[in-house]
Structure 1
């Protein structure tokens, strides 16, 4: 074998792949493309799985198999332009809108308690009905609004943030009120996600260890209180490790989720060939869509989803770590923490590692409000990625190249 052949083999081998990956990650816009690619693939896979998991239910309820898929496609079509606008929005505009976002989200949360507007679904009063064909879930918008506003407040404090009281005022009362409204809706899963998002951001900003430990203790005590004051939560906590002990009641969803993975085996039954979606597994297109994915696509499909979320999480952390802007760092950490925490909770719930708490899988599960807000959050991440070192220069150079190509075609 010649030297040229040997070097060619080396470039094609594992070492060559690692070198190519290293070169890609050294590019100023690597985080931007990672967020765009991972989120785009998850969104596309979600559309496929929503269609696959709802064909029977849609046919039974509406007479044709694509009802839920078309609604999800409509929401995605609405969400993508919003994300595009946000990704190109100057950060000063996003920050200026942060207070209005929190006020608006809080007002919508409060509106769920008004008779005639609030709708109870799945035991939680976390939906708004304005009389149209679609329902709105304000708690989803509240997550993103809180992240943007908290990042803006902390960034404005500057060096004052070194004093622990500045970490709590006004963030603690405002966030506490939003979380209290969510708990009042009987939506403990979403409230827990909000708390974990805020703890992530406080950790990133550098909260004193004693204060962080105190907050963790308070959160733990409050969480235990809410669990043991609700009989249905006590049952879930007592049975989630062995769903088959109460198969016909509290363990039904978790047990059938396990059946889905067992039926799929290593390689899956094939796209569209799930048996659990035929009315056996409740919420198969929302909270438990990962179980249907595991049944139909097997281990390769589940690993693909996990890898895509890990890539999205890595890109978000990379944005937070590489920037010198406090707002960018906190907003990126908050959005990344939200996606990762909610993903872990959903996968743990579907795999019967965690109790069933009713949390969808970001970008994949069916749901109008959740898909619009999570895609909008991806747009925020894309905007934040443009503030990494060298990213603005790379974007300017790319625009110049496109302009030159257009001018070349017109001459």
Structure 2
């Protein structure tokens, strides 16, 4: 007993110190910010390392993708800072504006402004004389969560009646993933459908309503798969990689890269799989494969650990907020990142067929990066709305007021 008491007394100060640090008013703000910045730094490093060979072969510039990546990253960070300072009313207005903007952009894809991204997917807009390419479906994910939190929090007293969830959330909300599905982008449509499912679960929708939506979603995925030869080929390649070697080349190369990396990796920049074996996606959907090959299991676990910190803090932010809008917004964004991250990593580890979903913060992609950092700004705004954070902000403002009053009084003497 004495030994246990001594051991506990030795550990106790450190445990208390950590506990107090994690329970400080702005702890979630700093934890989200720090984990996100570290993930962005690793992402930029891996985008350069994984894309350099392809960039040189296509554009004679190994820094081509890195330079573009950094432009979107910096612009996104500025946007995240601005969004993090917005109040409740402004965020709700952006919720409606982002929904309408996403709806318009997704519909414009069916005009001459839209263009084919390859393999039948028509999910890009080309704007301006410079031919700026935008992927509206990436912004639609953020719009879906932000708008969903807005409309449902405005009807919080009536959510026990399924009719107030069906309209307008389900009737208008499912319009976005439906448009993406019509554009034949199965991966993004699946992510958006799962976001809707997560929001229904978060707000406590009736189980029969959730089950009905899930059933329709599964039916929709089956229809999209069975009516497309390319998707059927991916499933066959997933089930029998040896028999369908050409179709399964990308995921098989990813596994070879991860296996080659071992514990510590082959070294930064030394990946072999990025030399054409991962086709044109080593810096996009398969960036984790290059990460695992070059930095090994240890490097991969560090990145997964940072993603776990982001996830836990995101959900804790949801639980700490008393306002339904902030609570559901934080839970919705975190669920989106978890869903998309799990699908991406599962594909790289050959646990799922290839569906073409990027990894938040790490994969290359301008539209994806801007949408992800916009979501980060919303999450940071949610941390600032936590009751303890609001109380701390008011206390700080009061202290500044007292100091100013004291200075004026002393100057008057």
Cα distance in 2 for residues equivalent to 1:65 and 1:17: 47
Residue pair 2:321, 2:382 contacting (<8 A) in 1 also:
no
Cα distance in 1 for residues equivalent to 2:184 and 2:172: 19
With over 3 angstroms needed to count, the CA separation of the structure-2 counterparts of 1:9 and 1:157, relative to structure 1, is closer
Deviations 1:269-314 (A, max 9, x none): 0111111111221200000000000000001111011111111111
With over 3 angstroms needed to count, the CA separation of the structure-2 counterparts of 1:174 and 1:16, relative to structure 1, is same
Cα distance in 2 for residues equivalent to 1:36 and 1:304: 17
| Cα distance, 1:401 vs structure 2 | 8.2
Cα distance in 1 for residues equivalent to 2:115 and 2:84: 32
Deviations 1:196-219 (A, max 9, x none): 111111111111122212222222
Partner of 1:264: 261
Q: TM-score when scaled to structure 1?
A: 0.91
**Contiguous gaps of at least 5 residues in structure 1:** 1-5
Is residue 251 of structure 1 aligned with residue 212 of structure 2? no
Structure 1 counterpart of 2:62, from 52, 62, 65 = 65
Question: 1:363-374, aligned counterparts within 5 Å?
Answer: 363-374=361-372
Cα distance in 1 for residues equivalent to 2:323 and 2:209: 24
Cα distance in 2 for residues equivalent to 1:329 and 1:268: 40
Residue pair 1:241, 1:353 contacting (<8 A) in 2 also:
no
Cα distance in 2 for residues equivalent to 1:254 and 1:343: 16
Cα distance in 1 for residues equivalent to 2:248 and 2:14: 45
Deviations 1:345-378 (A, max 9, x none): 0000011001100000001000000001101100
Question: 1:303-318, aligned counterparts within 5 Å?
Answer: 303-318=301-316
With over 3 angstroms needed to count, the CA separation of the structure-2 counterparts of 1:262 and 1:41, relative to structure 1, is same
Is residue 53 of structure 1 aligned with residue 50 of structure 2? yes
Partner of 2:118: 121
Cα distance in 1 for residues equivalent to 2:245 and 2:32: 40
Question: 1:277-356, aligned counterparts within 5 Å?
Answer: 277-282=274-279, 283-356=281-354
Partner of 1:95: 92
Out of 182-191 and 16-25, give the one that drifted further: 16-25
Structure 1 counterpart of 2:137, from 136, 139, 146 = 139
Out of 258-267 and 82-91, give the one that drifted further: 258-267
Secondary structure of 2:159 counterpart: helix
Cα distance in 2 for residues equivalent to 1:337 and 1:122: 29
Is residue 81 of structure 1 aligned with residue 48 of structure 2? no
Partner of 1:193: 191
Partner of 2:180: 182
Partner of 1:3: none
Secondary structure of 1:244 counterpart: coil
Residue pair 2:125, 2:134 contacting (<8 A) in 1 also:
yes
Residue pair 2:237, 2:245 contacting (<8 A) in 1 also:
no
Residue pair 2:114, 2:122 contacting (<8 A) in 1 also:
no
| Cα distance, 1:122 vs structure 2 | 5.0
Partner of 1:229: 227
Cα distance in 2 for residues equivalent to 1:195 and 1:19: 42
Residue pair 2:198, 2:335 contacting (<8 A) in 1 also:
yes
Partner of 1:156: 154
Partner of 2:411: none
Secondary structure of 1:135 counterpart: strand
Cα distance in 1 for residues equivalent to 2:109 and 2:266: 41
| Cα distance, 1:71 vs structure 2 | 0.6
Cα distance in 2 for residues equivalent to 1:358 and 1:204: 26
| Cα distance, 1:396 vs structure 2 | 4.6
Q: TM-score when scaled to structure 2?
A: 0.91
Cα distance in 2 for residues equivalent to 1:216 and 1:8: 49
Secondary structure of 1:199 counterpart: helix
Cα distance in 2 for residues equivalent to 1:216 and 1:355: 20
Residue pair 1:111, 1:118 contacting (<8 A) in 2 also:
no
Deviations 1:136-155 (A, max 9, x none): 00001111111111111011
Q: What value does the CA root-mean-square deviation take over the aligned residues?
A: 2.4
Residue pair 1:323, 1:329 contacting (<8 A) in 2 also:
yes
**Contiguous gaps of at least 5 residues in structure 2:** 1-5, 408-413
Secondary structure of 2:263 counterpart: coil
Is residue 388 of structure 1 aligned with residue 367 of structure 2? no
Deviations 1:236-274 (A, max 9, x none): 2233144333112x2111111111111211210011111
How many pairs are equivalent? 399
Cα distance in 1 for residues equivalent to 2:239 and 2:37: 34
